Structure 1
Amino acid sequence: MKVKYCLILLISLIPLTLLLSPQGRGEGEGFVPKGNAAAYEPPSNHRTNEDISIKDCRGCHDGVYRERFDPLKNPECSDCHTPPSQGINVVSEIKKREGVDRRKGKEPNVLKLKDDVEMVYVPEGEFIMGSERMPDESPAHAAYMKKAFYIDKYEVTNERYEKFVNETGHRKPINWITGTYPEGKGKHPVVFVNWVDAFDYCKWAGKRLPTEAEWEKAARGEDGRSFPWGDALDPKKANMPISKIGDTTPIGSFEAGKSPYGAYDMAGNVYEWVEDWYYLYPNSRAKGRDFQKYAGEKNKILKGGSWYDCLAYECGLSAFTSNRAFFDPSIRNNSFGFRCVKSTDR
């Protein structure tokens, strides 16, 4: 029945899936948490999907298209979404940050920068980007990465983000209700961060947000695989809704799910903000007013899968490396996070 339910949703709610389809190392040398969904034991006080109540999300996401929610009319949505920033032109703020001079100097041969995060090397060269799975992921096409780069091995954690907050005075995530991150979640990915928060952290760390192309190559390698580990969906290799964990997990908990270059959690745990605005690929099958309505400098892209998806995404559809989530860049969500990259002249 579950499979049938997922197939029905996939067929009937494809536009909705398009809209909902939206690293830091731990303390101490040698911390690389390993394991899988079966081995991971969440803390007793964590909030599960049942606590959040999936049915409460239908007010935000019901219908063929996701409409911008009004937190005053839908207060139940605040468990998953904070409202767009008040009194701030987010597009203007993004423009200021995009104007930062990014000319490359001679790149030092290092794998750790200010935030002491281990990074993995991704070489230049051709790779397969996109897919024929969804209209806005099409067409699958050859892309060429002109320069190599480093990408964080793990998603940015609460511990790392707290260091950034303490040094800069940047706003804290809304779920840090005691003034710090939730107990026991230091090595979990930080959540409730919007695009600007992610940009500012990466800049502070001497890095930047990855482009969509950089993120996708780091996740799938050069052979166009559907998931970081291959072409078969496997809930034991990533923290996705069908893994039935119901919360974020410590970074690197899925050893078998890492990418060809050694990056972890690129098919689950949290969606990850990237630099790009949401535009359709050239020659995309996603044509017409319905798609163009959301394209342009309105929504930023999020890549990867998440521990939590509404409705059709309970099937694990967001875990694909080609998945293209997009949201208002001011949205902060309990399943949105990020990682950073560093350019190299090689």
Structure 2
Amino acid sequence: VTQQQYAVFLNLTAYRPADGQNFLKVFDPESASPVVWVGLQEARDYCAWAGKRLPHAYEWQLAAQGTDGREYPWGNGLDISRFPKISHGRDVPRLPSVGSFPAGDSPFGLSDMVGLVWQFTDEFRDLHSRSALLKGTSLYNPLMHGGFPSESEPGNWYHPTARKLTQHNRLLLMDLSYERAGTLGFRCVGRHPDQAAGPSHIHEAADFLQV
């Protein structure tokens, strides 16, 4: 979901979260880059307003991977020209507009599935904690002292990469606003207009908003 799209939601609904700490800390209502600095609930609320919802992790993976089991949206080899340049600086860089790297699109034509921002999917719960399953990886991966073994696959444990479509990250959910970050966005999934009611299959996975 882009900042432009989220701005329409805000303007039409006067939506404000219960806890506003860091909500849309960096926000340009005219920008076509992904909306960030939103938490899990704000992402869910937008999707519900749009008549959609957040994807399950398996739906996200199908939409990114297609049906041939490829490792990345474009095929089976890591190609760093197909997603934004990895940023090793101190600050999160300005995010490019959605769709700026069409060579990295998925088999269903979905853009920016990996390498731009982490994306919310399922929520995981156990007896002691809650966490969100994140897919897609952010372009932000700051260098630690001494650098990384590789530009294409850096090894910072605090900012891990999960560009392979079978991989994910888990973000601990501690409070309403703590998961907001400049590296985390979302996309929504909805039923395809031609799909009859029933279990979700490939059509639903292919109906993601372009984020």
TM-score past 0.5 threshold: yes
Give the partner amino acid of 1:264.
S
* Whole-angstrom CA distance in 1 between matches of 2:84 and 2:100: 9
* Whole-angstrom CA distance in 1 between matches of 2:24 and 2:58: 30
Distance change (3 Å), C-alpha of 1:165 and 1:328: farther
* Whole-angstrom CA distance in 2 between matches of 1:210 and 1:240: 26
TM superposition shift of 1:188: 0.5
2:123 is aligned to 277
2:112 is aligned to 265
1:197 is aligned to 42
Distance change (3 Å), C-alpha of 1:242 and 1:225: farther
Matches within 5 A, 1:1-346: 156-171=1-16, 173-176=23-26, 181-182=27-28, 186-241=31-86, 246-274=93-121, 276-278=122-124, 298-310=130-142, 315=153, 317-329=161-173, 330=176, 331-344=179-192, 345-346=195-196
* Whole-angstrom CA distance in 1 between matches of 2:67 and 2:94: 31
TM superposition shift of 1:243: 9.5
Could you tell me the percent identity over the aligned residues?
Answer: 35
* Whole-angstrom CA distance in 2 between matches of 1:260 and 1:277: 26
Deviations 1:158-214 (A, max 9, x none): 0000111112222373324xxxx338x610100001110110000001111111110
Distance change (3 Å), C-alpha of 1:295 and 1:267: farther
TM-score scaled by structure 2?
A: 0.71
> Is the Cα–Cα contact under 8 Å of residues 88 and 140 in structure 2 kept in the other structure?
no
Greater Cα offset, 246-255 or 309-318: 309-318
Unpaired runs of 5+ residues, structure 2, are: 155-160, 197-211
Distance change (3 Å), C-alpha of 1:174 and 1:242: closer
> Is the Cα–Cα contact under 8 Å of residues 87 and 93 in structure 2 kept in the other structure?
no
SS at match of 1:277: strand
TM superposition shift of 1:270: 0.7
Give the partner amino acid of 2:31.
G
Distance change (3 Å), C-alpha of 1:175 and 1:218: same
TM superposition shift of 1:256: 0.5
* Whole-angstrom CA distance in 2 between matches of 1:340 and 1:253: 19
> Is the Cα–Cα contact under 8 Å of residues 74 and 107 in structure 2 kept in the other structure?
yes
* Whole-angstrom CA distance in 1 between matches of 2:128 and 2:63: 25
TM superposition shift of 1:278: 3.3
> Is the Cα–Cα contact under 8 Å of residues 55 and 189 in structure 2 kept in the other structure?
yes
SS at match of 2:111: coil
Count how many residue pairs are aligned between Structure 1 and Structure 2. 171
Deviations 1:245-269 (A, max 9, x none): 9431100000110000000000111
* Whole-angstrom CA distance in 1 between matches of 2:167 and 2:45: 25
Distance change (3 Å), C-alpha of 1:221 and 1:205: same
TM-score scaled by structure 1?
A: 0.45
* Whole-angstrom CA distance in 2 between matches of 1:201 and 1:234: 33
Report the structure number with the largest CA radius of gyration: 1
* Whole-angstrom CA distance in 2 between matches of 1:164 and 1:296: 34
* Whole-angstrom CA distance in 2 between matches of 1:191 and 1:221: 26
> Is the Cα–Cα contact under 8 Å of residues 3 and 32 in structure 2 kept in the other structure?
yes
Deviations 1:250-295 (A, max 9, x none): 0000011000000000011111101x2237xxxxxxxxxxxxxx89
